[in-house]
Amino acid sequence: PRRHRAGPQRGSVLSAGSGQQSVTGVSAADDGNSYWRVRGRTAAVCPRGTPVRCGQAIRLTHLGTGRNLHSHRFASPLSGNQEVSAFGEDGEGDYLDDWTVVCSGTYWARDSEVRFQHASTDVFLSVTGEQYGRPIHGQKEVHGMAASSQNNYWKVMEGIFMQPSEVFKAEQYHAEL
């Protein structure tokens, strides 16, 4: 299967559909504009260091802009699939910023592939190869697709290690009894 960065890059053009900021993808693993913070779903508390469960709803907030990964029923500008955009300010947005982590096992493991399914419209976060021209030549359109496929697998390329929370450590300990 194809592998993509776990955090798509924020683009610098406005989308044709909603006018919100487009989200684009790059294949370079060292792109400093591709960092996204994993947070609890809208209006939920998610203490730092808490492992992310498969099936959990999350938000992905772009570190550079403070905007959330967002989707809604607008056509994406290049492929005509569902638009994925960057929305909100300082991590504040709305319920359309919530994505469900689709993975195997109990928790999202750093080395495993993962899918993100939009909690409100059920599309999968995807990249299929459509590329923008000027001014962001070569960057790929990130969009939502109704069907799961090889184009919606994502993998963490790098990140910051957080010590597991005490609750998680206790849960692991008791699970082994």
Strand partners, 36: 62
Classify domain 5-173 by CATH architecture. Answer: Trefoil (2.80)
Give tens-digit pLDDT for 74-86: 999 899 999 999 9
Task: Please tell me which residue, 134 or 69, carries the higher pLDDT value.
Answer: 69
Give tens-digit pLDDT for 45-60: 888 888 899 999 999 9
Domain residue spans of the chain:
5-173
- Euclidean distance between CA atoms 1 and 160, whole angstroms: 25
